[in-house]
Amino acid sequence: MTAGTRRRLRRRVTCAVALVGAWAIGFVGLAPAAAAEDIRAKQWYLNAMHVDKIWQKTRGEGIKVAVIDSGVNPSTPSLQGQVLKGRDTSGMGEGTDDYSGHGTTMAELIAGTGKGGGLQGLAPGAKIIPFRVALDDPTRRKNAWDVEDAIRAAADSDAKIINMSFGGIGKTDRMMEAAKYAQSKGKLMFASTGNTGDGENVRQYPVGLPEVVGVAATDSEGRVGKYSTHGDMVDISAPGSDIPHWCDASFARYCDGAQGTSHATAIASATAALIWSYHPDWTANQVLRVMLESAGKGEGWKPGTTSNYVGHGVVRPGAHINRGLGKPGDPNVDPLTNENSAAPGGGSSATPAAPATPGTSAPASSQAPQDQATPAQAVTGSSGETGGGSSLGLVLGGAAVVVVVAGGAFYFARKRRTA
């Protein structure tokens, strides 16, 4: 197999920032950076989660989150003092400045302080370590293995959580080994499932890897975003619709109403940061198990089943932190596979793949996987409708949720995917 064949994948940022402007639902509009309370009001999920009560116990202190993305602007009012030294793996240069605004949005959703009219992070006590990759702009990519190298670099960093709000339609041996290595180092990895749910519903990577937690997106009424890619890679869901974001790399204004599993992934990572900060001695497996067990589930949810649309349910950090729901369980057993995983902090038996030969790799990500039958598709946004006719009631402060089942097709018992 040639290097060019290995790199056929074209990565797509799974937040639809560039696509939401034309949707008929009318949520999108440009606005100058507003007063903090105005932006906060648009982050509907914060009040729904009763974050002020959560923050009385933890704000994510002591937790570092690696954000593998387009870079992070550490100078926005909301991120001043929140961003640590990171690394560029794309080959663009030594810095980790954000070339699109996407990575900065994810960082603010995780750990932003909300100062100066900025986005309020769910875990404002956490810190961000940026790892810059080229994502869907191949002209910036000088290193064909930038994502794979970023995962390994994040695994070797002080970050406990790795946020990957992007995806592509293929995987490489090097990507699989990097994910295994990160798991062996005790990291908890989250990735977006993608935004092709209302189209080809393409399986993406790294979310398709068994070591990575797949995150789907819901809206303010608990409906699964029609755009949210569904399938057995979905492990959990989080708010992802109608969330403000930086419009572009000028950082002059926020845009309203973005739709995407990118945002949901950042909010899931922030949820993990809150729980891990509250229980600093836990392992990644224990943090994830509590997230899955305390996730919002509806009436009639059958024990032992999961949904191909919302996985184990909607993240509810307050359900555990304020109410004690969810048990940590065995520190060495992966709750997604029920198999033993490498001890946190241990070494890896994975052997790094040989680097790509300079000048021979196409500016794409990887070989199309054997289980990928559909062609590459552009990321799509949301029409605001439910995914698959299913709706999950909004989780308010850890209260019980209500599931509206359409045609009896909401629940899907399934085994956790394998690579």
**Which active-site residues does the annotation give?**
69, 102, 262
CA distance linking residue 317 with residue 227, whole number of Å: 25
Nearest of 206, 220, 236, 242 to residue 336 by alpha carbon: 236
C-alpha 91 chain-centroid distance: 24
Answer whether 151's CB lies under 8 Å from 178's CB.
yes
CA distance linking residue 133 with residue 100, whole number of Å: 11
Answer whether 103's CB lies under 8 Å from 130's CB.
yes
Instruction: Decide the pairing of beta strands 161-164 and 188-192.
Output: parallel
H or E segment at 191? strand 188-192
Token pair for 63 = 């937790």
Answer whether 169's CB lies under 8 Å from 204's CB.
yes
Q: Where are the alpha helices (DSSP H) in 75-138?
A: 102-111
Nearest of 265, 13, 261 to residue 137 by alpha carbon: 13
Answer whether 37's CB lies under 8 Å from 251's CB.
no
Structure-derived torsion over alpha carbons of residues 115, 119, 125, 126, reported in degrees to the nearest 10 = -130
CA distance linking residue 397 with residue 46, whole number of Å: 10
CA distance linking residue 382 with residue 413, whole number of Å: 26
Give me the amino acid identity at 416.
R
CA distance linking residue 387 with residue 202, whole number of Å: 14
CA distance linking residue 76 with residue 252, whole number of Å: 10
Token pair for 79 = 């991120």
Instruction: Decide the pairing of beta strands 166-167 and 161-164.
Output: unpaired
Task: Count CA within 13 A, CB hemisphere, residue 342.
Answer: 18
